[in-house]
Amino acid sequence: MATPVQEYKDAVDKGLEGVVACTTEISSIQDSTLTYRGYTIEDLAEKSTFEEVSYLLIKGVMPSKDELAAFTKQLQKEMTLDAAFKAQLGSLYSVFPKNGHPMDFLRTAVSTLSFFDADVASNEPDANFRKSVRLIAKMGPIVAAFQRLREGKDILEPKTDKSIAYNFMYQLQGKEPKAEWVKIFDIALILHADHELNCSAFSTRVTASSLSDLHSDIVSAIGTLKGPLHGGANTAVMKMLHEIGTIEKAQQFVVGALEGKQKVMGIGHRVYKNGDPRAKILKKMSQQLTKEVGHPELYEMSTLIDQTMFDKKGLMPNVDFYSATVYDSMGIPGDIFTPIFAVSRISGWCAHAMEQYSKNRIYRPRGQYTGKTGLKL
């Protein structure tokens, strides 16, 4: 019998790069094209809404007019946070370290939310659909509640005749959002809703494969998304731009980073080699918004970094790069950028969990042992 050292010739140590881990009907990346259930991201961004895309992801088909109306009504009903749950959020924040990361708050809040869900113990398809609706509806209000709590303000109730995008901006900032900005934010949610078998989608499926509950799957995803190499990159992009400070220093920064073998956040992608289609859409939004709020230099710095990285390394921006200046222009705090990612990606996570449950086999890869052998006490 072969020893563990001899059993595998080709262990994959580079993040499972190139390994196909499962089949999926949810989303697909082919060259520089991203599709959700067969629809291109460009088409969805132009003609759809986040609510419609959420239905598409978790149900597998585009809704009819009546189906979308009913689904939207369900989401609007579930946006309101239970009074006891809001009290728990307040208690959580009261002991939350003031330098704590908002993703830590979100992770614990979603875990707590499971205690308030009557379907928590059921993995039946109908129960998971109901839980998905609640999670999609409540993720934005939870993130907004964190911001309100740390500002010492009351948690606002949602306007239950408005969209998820509208309510997030309203509940976060406490004022009527501009209609044009609501549309831009809705597009941003669509762009981030799913992305094939990314790191957090994979952790969702791994947890689901053990037949754990949906809330546990999502808690795993949130913990994964927190990492600076995944969802945390857009926060790092904004920090980078502020540290650079001026257009004149932008190119010098890139050259210095490359010479020092440092990563330039928001640039490059494991899968896209000819450009991230989401970044192209966000770039236009960044140009518009930075000019509108009187900070066009942020866009100009971004494009200079973008062009310099392409000229010197052949690398192009990913979704995080321009989303940073889009959110910043809307007055959203930088450390909330990653939680916003979760507000959007919750739709994809739920879809991946439900697909995993539908054709499940527990994930159990092997590891090629490279340690010492033959030791004796």
pLDDT at 257: 87
User: Mind listing the pLDDT tens digit for each residue in 311-341?
Assistant: 888 899 999 899 999 999 999 999 999 999 9
pLDDT at 34: 96
* Structure confidence at residue 294 (pLDDT): 97
Residue whose entry in the numeric block shows the structure tokens 């959007």: 344
Active site annotation includes 320: yes
Alpha-carbon gap, residue 227 to 132, rounded angstroms: 24
CA 283 from chain center: how many Å? Answer: 18
Q: Which of 119, 194, 306, 320 is catalytic?
A: 320
3-class DSSP assignment, residue 194:
coil
**Residue among 138, 187, 219 nearest 285 (CA):** 187
pTM (predicted TM-score): 0.93
pLDDT of residue 5: 43
Alpha helices in the chain (DSSP H): 4-7, 41-47, 50-59, 65-78, 83-95, 102-113, 125-150, 164-173, 179-192, 199-209, 214-225, 233-244, 247-259, 277-292, 296-313, 319-329, 337-358
CATH code for the structural domain at 233-329: 1.10.230.10
Query: Residue 121's Cα: distance from chain center in Å?
Result: 25
**Which stretches in the chain have pLDDT values below 70?**
1-13
What's the rounded Cα separation, in Å, for the pair 326 and 308?
Answer: 21
Active site residue 230: no
Q: In this predicted structure, what is the pLDDT of residue 9?
A: 55
27-226+336-358, which class in CATH? mainly alpha
User: Helix H segments across 8-163?
Assistant: 41-47, 50-59, 65-78, 83-95, 102-113, 125-150
Single out the catalytic residue among 192, 195, 269, 352. 269
Q: Where are the domains of the chain?
A: 27-226+336-358, 233-329
